[in-house]
């Protein structure tokens, strides 16, 4: 099958957008870049290759004129501009109206019915009207704490409860991530910042909801809690020094309840002193299944999931979909 | 969404067909039985419930008249009559011609291009002509050594090699399975039986090919080898006694080669003295990923995968497809 290449517009070329674009660039037989949008004046006018950190020249320059770029013939927009649905909604509507499928890194878009069902329904209708598919994904939300445990339930006749624990070693991650988890703060400052939602992983509630969607469950309620991981010894990273009793990171719980019972329990720990990173899941059902996965890498794998999902988004039926709706996503 | 129930015809009510039917019976909101076909005179004329081992009466009797049953209005045939493609081909053609989608336990149907591309192409064309979807699946082939490792590659930007090891504790399995793996034989008798293909797990080559399909790889060659697992101590099961130095089971390797390199290496051990059952995978790529899954149960999980795949088969586009083409299969 000499399939036609998928023509891609890049929308947002920060570190994550650029990393996702590099994954598509690894598959030149499947994808070609036809446009790129970013507001950063240091990027506008430059060739895509230079901006995403590759030696190749693509002959396509970054533009700040979204409307003009979206008017080009293209099959897919790789969208990576923000975590919050209300923040990216105008961009999504513009892309949909231009008739382009969307794969997005927006965390809340991974399951937008959780935080804002009205906007989700609106985007879903618009996407169906313009016959395009819209999916938000990434490693988390999008895979490690939702798609992977749901995929494991394929071997179960019944499932009573899904528990997941993800431990992320943030010590070698980007400065932005270490700040986002409160590394180096006092415990008091952490609690203040967490109350203001300045510190937290965005997407845990979305993952709880994805697990429920994947299993056809109606939850009564999704609850989230957050607490600091406190350093017991001095931790030094490239970006921060954490003294003992200061904050090394964050531990969050997401719970999905039905009839007073915990049906989904997700625990996420992201800290600069995490001894070892892993993803563990317990499927309580018939049979019980336990999985332990090592090696999922925050930055490499977020870009991988987005890049690998791209072709499945283009193939899928129109609408605002989730990872629960796509055909098997794999490294290709 | 009050979706219409999927109307199911059962074709083959041996132990595996009955187990798969019981999984569908666990989801009465999604499936209803409208017909059943089996040649066994002890089953013909009986209600489905009694034959599949459930207390419920379904008001549908087992018939030996396949043509008559297949003339009924139905969306899906759950097919479970044999492991080999050539053996079940006439049944598949009859079901397809009757316009019914098929989910089948036939091992070779999980990836029929491996053993018999001509028959696969023929079935594919016929399925498209009649606008039905045909998929063969189960725990292995169909999930443990192919779909699961391929699903894990979603987190990888590139994959160089996939290695999988599956260890099955056969000590509590059906007599038929213990015989199939040669438990209790002399080593000489094992080699003779293996040479006659009387002893082997059917589907390892199919799984190698599925991994390659899932990653978009063209393999030059798929190789299979088989050797006995020799008991080091006396093993007593419900069905067999194995003395030391007699055969406790089978170890098979399936390898997928490209340009002289092993790209896919699958190792399957099924023995009555397996110390612990597990499924382990190593994805060599960017990043490297390792997974260890415990609890996948041969009989329960084969029925689960088939039953869980059923709705995805009905939703999928027409043709002879594989698990690599279906939307995410989960316990619902």
Measured CA to CA, the distance from residue A243 to residue A231 in angstroms comes to 7
Judge whether residue A157 has pLDDT over 60: yes
Query: H helices of B175-220, where?
Result: 175-180, 187-195, 204-215
- Residue in B closest to A22 by C-alpha: B157
Per residue in B147-204, pLDDT (tens digit) is 999 999 999 999 999 999 999 999 988 888 898 899 999 999 999 999 998 998 899 9
Put simply, whether B210 touches A (Cβ < 8 Å) is: no
- Give the pLDDT confidence score for residue B56 in this predicted structure: 95
Quick check: pTM over 0.95?
yes
What domains appear along chain A, each with residue ranges and CATH number? 6-138+301-320 (3.40.50.720), 147-294 (3.30.360)
- Give the pLDDT confidence score for residue A232 in this predicted structure: 94
Judge whether residue B2 has pLDDT over 60: no
Q: What is the DSSP string of A251-308?
A: EEEEEEEETTEEEEEEEEEEETT-SS-EEEEEEEEES-EEEEEE---HHHHHHHHHHH
Average pLDDT of the residues in A250-278: 95
Put simply, whether A159 touches B (Cβ < 8 Å) is: yes
Contacts within 8 Å (CB) and 24+ apart, B47-53: B48/B10, B48/B21, B51/B13, B51/B18, B52/B10, B52/B13, B52/B17, B52/B18, B52/B21, B52/B22, B52/B25, B53/B18, B53/B22
- Pick from B105, B57, B56, B99: which is nearest to B80 by CA? B105
What's the burial of B172, exposed, middle or buried (CB within 10 Å: 0-12/13-18/19+)? middle
Chain A from 266 to 295: CB within 8 A of any B CB: 283, 285-295
Judge whether residue A3 has pLDDT over 80: no
Q: pLDDT band at A274, cuts 50/70/90? A: confident
DSSP state of B72: S
* Residues B7, B28 contacting (CB under 8 angstroms): no
Q: pLDDT band at A1, cuts 50/70/90? A: very low
Q: pLDDT band at B275, cuts 50/70/90? A: confident
DSSP state of A20: H
- Residue in A closest to B329 by C-alpha: A154
Judge whether residue A176 has pLDDT over 90: no
Per residue in B49-95, pLDDT (tens digit) is 999 999 999 999 999 999 999 999 999 999 999 999 999 999 999 99
Average pLDDT of the residues in A299-318: 97
Put simply, whether A199 touches B (Cβ < 8 Å) is: no
Q: Which residue among B22, B139, B332 places its CB closest to the CB of A155?
A: B139
- Residue in B closest to A326 by C-alpha: B327
Query: What is the least distance, in Å, from the CA of B158 to any CA of chain A?
Result: 6
* Strand-pair category, B289-294 with A289-294: antiparallel
Query: What is the least distance, in Å, from the CA of A15 to any CA of chain B?
Result: 16
Place of tokens 């390199």: B261
Per residue in A48-80, pLDDT (tens digit) is 999 999 999 999 999 999 999 999 999 999 999
What six digits make up the tokens of A28?
A: 């030149």
Per residue in A165-174, pLDDT (tens digit) is 999 999 988 8
Contact A324 B328 (CB under 8 A): yes
Per residue in B10-56, pLDDT (tens digit) is 999 999 999 999 999 999 999 999 999 999 999 999 999 999 999 99
Judge whether residue B280 has pLDDT over 60: yes
Judge whether residue A2 has pLDDT over 70: no
Per residue in A85-111, pLDDT (tens digit) is 999 999 999 999 999 999 999 999 999
Average pLDDT of the residues in A191-220: 95
- Give the pLDDT confidence score for residue A195 in this predicted structure: 94
Judge whether residue B1 has pLDDT over 70: no
3-class state of residue B47 by DSSP: strand
Q: Which residue among B22, B144, B151 places its CB closest to the CB of A330?
A: B151
Question: Considering only CB atoms, which chain A residues are within 8 Å of B158?
Answer: 26, 331
Average pLDDT of the residues in B253-282: 95
What six digits make up the tokens of A242?
A: 């954490």
Judge whether residue A263 has pLDDT over 50: yes
Q: Which helix (H) or strand (E) holds A135?
A: strand A133-136
Measured CA to CA, the distance from residue B106 to residue B82 in angstroms comes to 6
Average pLDDT of the residues in B87-107: 98
Per residue in B107-129, pLDDT (tens digit) is 999 999 999 999 999 999 999 99
* Strand-pair category, A6-11 with A76-79: parallel
Question: Considering only CB atoms, which chain B residues are within 8 Å of A295?
Answer: 155, 283, 287-290
ipTM over 0.90: yes
């Amino acid at each position: 099958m000499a399939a036609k290449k998928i023509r891609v517009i890049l929308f947002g070329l920060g570190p994550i957008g650029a990393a996702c674009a590099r994954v598509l660039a690894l598959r030149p037989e499947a994808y070609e870049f036809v446009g790129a949008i970013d507001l950063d004046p240091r990027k506008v006018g430059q060739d895509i290759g230079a901006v995403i950190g590759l030696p190749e020249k693509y002959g396509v320059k970054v533009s700040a004129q979204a409307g003009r770029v979206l008017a080009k013939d293209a099959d897919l927009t790789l969208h990576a501009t923000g975590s919050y649905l209300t923040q990216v909604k105008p961009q999504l509507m513009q892309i949909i109206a231009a008739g382009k499928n969307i794969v997005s890194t927006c965390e809340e878009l991974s399951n937008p019915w959780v935080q804002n069902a009205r906007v989700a329904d609106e985007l879903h209708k618009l996407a169906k009207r313009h016959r395009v598919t819209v999916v938000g994904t990434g490693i988390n939300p999008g895979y490690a704490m939702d798609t992977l445990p749901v995929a494991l339930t394929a071997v179960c006749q019944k499932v009573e409860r899904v528990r997941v624990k993800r431990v992320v070693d943030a010590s070698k991650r980007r400065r932005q991530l270490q700040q986002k988890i409160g590394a180096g703060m006092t415990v008091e400052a952490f609690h203040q910042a967490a109350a203001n939602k300045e510190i937290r992983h965005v997407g845990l509630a979305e993952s709880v909801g994805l697990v429920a969607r994947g299993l056809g469950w109606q939850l009564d309620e999704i609850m989230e809690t957050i607490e600091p991981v406190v350093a017991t010894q001095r931790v030094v990273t490239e970006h921060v020094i954490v003294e003992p009793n200061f904050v090394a990171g964050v531990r969050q719980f997401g719970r999905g309840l039905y009839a007073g019972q915990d049906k989904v329990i997700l625990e996420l720990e992201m800290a600069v002193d995490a001894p070892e990173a892993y993803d563990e899941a317990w499927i309580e059902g018939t049979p019980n299944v336990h999985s332990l996965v090592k090696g999922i890498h925050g930055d490499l794998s977020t870009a991988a999931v987005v890049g690998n999902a791209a072709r499945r988004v283009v193939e899928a039926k129109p609408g605002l979909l989730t990872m629960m709706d796509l055909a098997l996503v794999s490294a290709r």
